[in-house]
């Protein structure tokens, strides 16, 4: 064969192989057996070996690149890869629709609904039809170049049907079956299984050796064009059709909906069909169809106003509740905890779930031995949702809270208006232990190296009877403890010593006064300055302070009136623990003197140029008050990266929103 004939044959083979590959991977309708594809690919390989100059980057032989990378290159996205606001129920969808309606005026608009594929967002760049670069989302502005790995995904065309220059966005994912098979292999090899298909897909695309990604059977759905302007289309759905015609794989479950009610119907239908899909989805994405209207609606700091993501309720699984154990907290509350046959839910193994109190156990009629439905509330905290009563065998045992404290055997009481049972014995060892753990915790005295276990050990060995004893610990006694080396003993003593210098609010919070959280402790410390002033404070003085209510005031006065408290504070003082506020003093800044004076500000999302605490301190120094949640009283919300519900709420309430740069600019003034 001469080179001309070879070139001719290569062209034919590209066309035929691409067609077969498209039919197989994109359309899921193969027209020839696999062996035919393999035969032609082999022929192409042979020709390319003989005439290396005929091997092009878009050749079907170039899916799995040979070289292993040292690291991924960074890629700056020309158009940022944003995330979406969330909707969790019908009401949220109606809210979204109202906002859209308000902003586009009363002209008509429609939506496109799509499945929200649970994978990894990627961006693909084509130049004159040739696939030149693929990248991860990264932080939205900068991602990583994973071109070699993406090339291994057979449904990604290496050359488009038209020589267009464009950037497309989509979700790479691992089908459910491939995920199950992969984990079975990993189990056999004794390797840690992937928590879910999303992690498996992300893990595969983050491999420096493209052969690994090639072996993982990944797939992709494309759902958008980064910059559709020059393509002569006017709606998002035309954009998706264009993607189809260029050879991309898009998801066919999409639907154009004329009203939000149609959207809700689609959401319901897809929630039902979800289990039958061969890939995982975690919700539905709803997008305004008209591209002009999308432009009109624009973006907030982090997401488009023209789209939202409806998130399906958390995953639920069934397991056996084998026991109910009790624990006594710092304030004496006795909490029942379900012991579960370990089960995987939403990515982690769950073996315990708090049952909170007896009322809840009665309400759900939870019995020991029951099969129960478990989910993760907010996708984080394990929770027993309900009991499968029809799976009972008759062996199940009803659970009753004890009358006596499981730790100290004193009688438990139910305080008026509370559901919880409490041990009110101030000498209860569990409460003392928990109280001490709280004292050393991060937001309190912040003594590193003193976790729950060490505290329990010190207490059990009678080396500490109260928190003041921490300051009398000696190295010789510490190193006698199990698992306490010389180095850790030194570190621990240094951390204890350092904590003596803490500002008063840490000590106040650490003491565990009822109703006094970290924020209230700060207010008290700033207002009164020293422990001595606080010890003699009256309810009236306290309630005169804006942030302090009657309940907290009573609790503070009651606390300091106890002789044991007087003694404890004396002991801490004698040990050299600082008893005064040493933090920044809130300057009296007149309104107008700074952008923050007299304003209530909420910080949300990730800040990149300073920590949240620094931002808070600087805003407060300029006369602002920083609070935790957005309400009608909020004047300003500073939204960093990935800001969530607070930002949404701010927008709903029409509160002014700044991005981080604006904050920095104001702070520099
Ligand atoms: S549109 C600017 N459509 O969901 C809007 N996203 O927070 C860009 N996702 O990580 C997103 N399926 O990767 C869109 N049909 C779909 C999607 C989808 C999954 C992912 C996306 C992003 C997240 C949105």
pLDDT digits (tens, 9 = 90+) for 168-227: 999 999 998 898 888 878 766 656 678 678 889 999 999 999 989 998 999 999 999 999
Cα gap 211→47, rounded to integer Å? 23
For a pocket test of ligand 1, which of 83, 139, 141, 279 has the largest count of ligand atoms closer than 8 A to its C-beta? 83
pLDDT at 423: 93
Instruction: Tell me the mean pLDDT in the region 47-56.
Output: 94
Would you say residue 385 has pLDDT above 60? yes
More confident residue, 206 or 668: 206
Instruction: Tell me the mean pLDDT in the region 524-536.
Output: 93
**Residue 118's pLDDT band (cuts 50, 70, 90):** very high
pLDDT at 93: 97
For a pocket test of ligand 1, which of 112, 117, 300 has the largest count of ligand atoms closer than 8 A to its C-beta? 117
**Residue 345's pLDDT band (cuts 50, 70, 90):** confident
CA-closest residue to ligand 1 atom 9: 116
Cα gap 239→276, rounded to integer Å? 27
The three-state secondary structure class of 367 is strand
Measuring CA to CA, which residue among 329, 321, 439 is closest to residue 382? 321
Highest mean pLDDT, choosing among 159-168, 274-283, 353-362 = 159-168
**Residue 138's pLDDT band (cuts 50, 70, 90):** very high
pLDDT digits (tens, 9 = 90+) for 455-495: 999 999 999 999 999 999 999 999 988 888 999 999 999 99
Whether 304 is in the pocket of ligand 1, judged by its Cβ within 6 Å, is yes
SS3 content of the chain, % helix, strand, coil (to 5): 40, 20, 40
Q: How far is CA 110 from CA 231, 232, 293, 420, 436, in A?
A: 21, 19, 10, 51, 59
Would you say residue 380 has pLDDT above 70? no
Q: How far is CA 563 from CA 270, 428, 504, 568, 570, in A?
A: 64, 18, 20, 9, 11
Measuring CA to CA, which residue among 495, 503, 440, 430 is closest to residue 468? 440
Instruction: Tell me the mean pLDDT in the region 261-277.
Output: 93
**Residue 378's pLDDT band (cuts 50, 70, 90):** very low
**Residue 140's pLDDT band (cuts 50, 70, 90):** very high
Would you say residue 338 has pLDDT above 70? yes
Whether 84 is in the pocket of ligand 1, judged by its Cβ within 6 Å, is yes
pLDDT at 625: 84
| Residue written as token pair 């949240």 | 612
Whether 285 is in the pocket of ligand 1, judged by its Cβ within 6 Å, is yes
pLDDT at 570: 96
Whether 117 is in the pocket of ligand 1, judged by its Cβ within 6 Å, is yes
More confident residue, 507 or 594: 507
pLDDT at 7: 96
Whether 121 is in the pocket of ligand 1, judged by its Cβ within 6 Å, is yes
Decide: residue 369, CB within 10 A, 0-12 exposed, 13-18 middle, 19+ buried.
middle
Would you say residue 412 has pLDDT above 60? yes
pLDDT digits (tens, 9 = 90+) for 580-626: 999 776 555 666 677 888 888 999 888 888 888 788 888 887 888 88
Cα gap 504→526, rounded to integer Å? 9
Whether 307 is in the pocket of ligand 1, judged by its Cβ within 6 Å, is yes
The three-state secondary structure class of 287 is strand
The answer to whether the CB of 482 falls within 8 A of the CB of 448 is no
The CA 156 to ligand 1 mean position distance, Å, reads 18
As a three-state string, the secondary structure of 175-215 is CHHHHHHHHHHHHHHCCCCCCCHHHHHHHHHCCCCHHHHHC
The answer to whether the CB of 645 falls within 8 A of the CB of 308 is no
The CA 21 to ligand 1 mean position distance, Å, reads 26
The CA 277 to ligand 1 mean position distance, Å, reads 18
pLDDT at 186: 79
pLDDT at 591: 64
Would you say residue 62 has pLDDT above 60? yes
**Residue 357's pLDDT band (cuts 50, 70, 90):** confident
Which positions ≥6 away from 158 have C-beta within 8 Å?
18, 57, 58, 59, 60, 62, 63, 130, 131, 151
Whether 309 is in the pocket of ligand 1, judged by its Cβ within 6 Å, is yes
Instruction: Tell me the mean pLDDT in the region 535-549.
Output: 89
Would you say residue 379 has pLDDT above 60? no
Cα gap 462→595, rounded to integer Å? 54
Cα gap 61→50, rounded to integer Å? 14
For a pocket test of ligand 1, which of 81, 116, 286 has the largest count of ligand atoms closer than 8 A to its C-beta? 116
Q: Are strands 636-639 and 656-659 parallel, antiparallel or unpaired?
A: parallel
Percentage with pLDDT > 70 across the chain: 96
Instruction: Tell me the mean pLDDT in the region 287-315.
Output: 91
| Residue written as token pair 């907030």 | 300
The answer to whether the CB of 412 falls within 8 A of the CB of 403 is yes
pLDDT digits (tens, 9 = 90+) for 646-662: 888 888 888 899 999 89
pLDDT digits (tens, 9 = 90+) for 213-248: 998 999 999 999 999 988 999 999 999 999 999 999
Would you say residue 29 has pLDDT above 70? yes
Q: What is the dihedral of CA 129, 135, 137, 142, to 10 degrees?
A: -110
**Residue 252's pLDDT band (cuts 50, 70, 90):** very high
| Residue written as token pair 């040493």 | 582
- Catalytic annotation, residues: 116
The CA 375 to ligand 1 mean position distance, Å, reads 24
Whether 171 is in the pocket of ligand 1, judged by its Cβ within 6 Å, is yes
Would you say residue 51 has pLDDT above 80? yes
Specify the ligand 1 atom closest to the Cα of 120: 13
Instruction: Tell me the mean pLDDT in the region 623-637.
Output: 85
pLDDT at 589: 65
The CA 165 to ligand 1 mean position distance, Å, reads 22
Specify the ligand 1 atom closest to the Cα of 115: 15
**Greatest CA separation for the chain:** 103
CA-closest residue to ligand 1 atom 16: 116
pLDDT at 461: 92
287, β-bridge pairs: 112, 307
Cα gap 180→656, rounded to integer Å? 47
Instruction: Tell me the mean pLDDT in the region 560-579.
Output: 95
The answer to whether the CB of 368 falls within 8 A of the CB of 455 is no
């Amino acid at each position: 064969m001469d080179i001309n004939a070879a070139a001719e044959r290569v062209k034919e083979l590209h066309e035929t192989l691409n067609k077969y590959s498209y039919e197989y991977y994109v359309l899921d309708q193969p027209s020839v057996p696999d062996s035919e594809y393999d035969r032609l690919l082999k022929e192409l390989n042979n020709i390319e070996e003989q005439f290396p100059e005929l091997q092009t980057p878009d050749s079907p032989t170039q899916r799995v690149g040979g070289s292993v990378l040292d690291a991924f290159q960074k890629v700056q996205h020309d158009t940022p890869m944003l995330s979406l606001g969330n909707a969790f129920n019908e009401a949220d969808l109606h809210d979204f629709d109202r906002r859209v309606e308000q902003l586009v005026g009363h002209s008509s608009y429609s939506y496109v609904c799509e499945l929200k594929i649970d994978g990894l967002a990627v961006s693909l760049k084509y130049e004159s039809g040739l696939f030149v670069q693929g990248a991860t989302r990264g932080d939205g502005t900068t991602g990583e170049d994973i071109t070699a790995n993406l090339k291994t995904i057979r449904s990604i065309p290496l050359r488009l049907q038209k020589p267009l220059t464009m950037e497309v966005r989509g979700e790479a994912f691992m089908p459910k079956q491939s995920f199950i098979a992969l984990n079975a292999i990993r189990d056999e090899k004794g390797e840690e299984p992937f928590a879910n298909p999303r992690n498996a897909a992300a893990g595969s695309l983050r491999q420096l050796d493209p052969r690994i990604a090639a072996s993982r059977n990944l797939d992709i759905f494309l759902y958008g064009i980064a910059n559709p302007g020059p393509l002569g289309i006017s709606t998002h759905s035309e954009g998706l059709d264009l993607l189809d015609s260029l050879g991309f794989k898009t998801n066919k479950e999409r639907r154009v909906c004329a009203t939000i009610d149609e959207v809700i119907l689609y959401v319901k239908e897809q929630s039902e069909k979800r289990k039958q899909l061969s890939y995982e989805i975690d919700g539905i994405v709803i997008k305004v169809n008209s591209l002009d209207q999308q432009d009109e609606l624009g973006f907030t700091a982090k997401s488009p106003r023209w789209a939202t993501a409806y998130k399906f309720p958390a995953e639920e699984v069934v397991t056996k509740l084998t026991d109910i154990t009790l624990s006594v907290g710092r304030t004496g509350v006795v909490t029942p905890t379900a012991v579960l046959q370990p089960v995987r839910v939403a990515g982690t193994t769950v073996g315990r779930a708090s049952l909170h109190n007896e009322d809840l156990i009665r309400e759900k009629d939870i019995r020991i031995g029951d099969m129960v439905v478990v989910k993760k509330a907010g996708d984080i905290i394990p929770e027993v949702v309900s009991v499968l009563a029809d799976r009972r065998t008759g062996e199940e045992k009803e659970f009753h809270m004890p009358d006596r404290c499981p730790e100290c055997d004193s009688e438990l009481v139910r305080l008026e208006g509370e559901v919880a049972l409490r041990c009110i014995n101030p000498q209860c060892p569990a409460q003392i232990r928990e109280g001490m753990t709280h004292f050393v915790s991060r937001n309190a005295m912040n003594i590193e190296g003193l976790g729950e276990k060490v505290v329990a050990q010190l207490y059990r060995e009678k080396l500490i009877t109260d928190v003041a004893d921490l300051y009398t610990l000696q190295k010789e006694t510490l190193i006698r403890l199990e698992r306490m080396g010389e180095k850790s003993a030194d570190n621990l003593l240094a951390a204890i010593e350092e904590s003596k210098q803490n500002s008063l609010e840490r000590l106040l919070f650490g003491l565990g006064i009822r109703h006094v959280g970290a924020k209230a402790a700060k207010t008290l410390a700033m207002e009164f300055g020293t422990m001595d002033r606080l010890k003699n404070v009256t309810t009236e003085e306290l309630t005169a302070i804006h942030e302090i209510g009657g309940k907290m005031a009573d609790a503070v006065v009651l606390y300091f009136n106890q002789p044991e408290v007087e003694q404890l504070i004396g002991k801490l003082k004698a040990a050299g623990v600082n008893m005064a506020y040493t933090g920044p003093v809130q300057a009296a800044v007149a309104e107008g003197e700074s952008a923050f004076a007299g304003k209530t500000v909420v910080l949300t999302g990730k800040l990149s140029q300073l920590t949240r605490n620094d931002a808070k301190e600087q805003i407060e120094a300029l006369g602002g008050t920083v609070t935790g949640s957005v309400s009608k009283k909020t004047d300003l919300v500073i939204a960093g990266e990935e800001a969530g519900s607070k930002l949404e709420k701010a927008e709903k309430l029409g509160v002014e929103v700044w991005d981080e740069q604006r904050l920095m600019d104001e702070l520099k003034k």
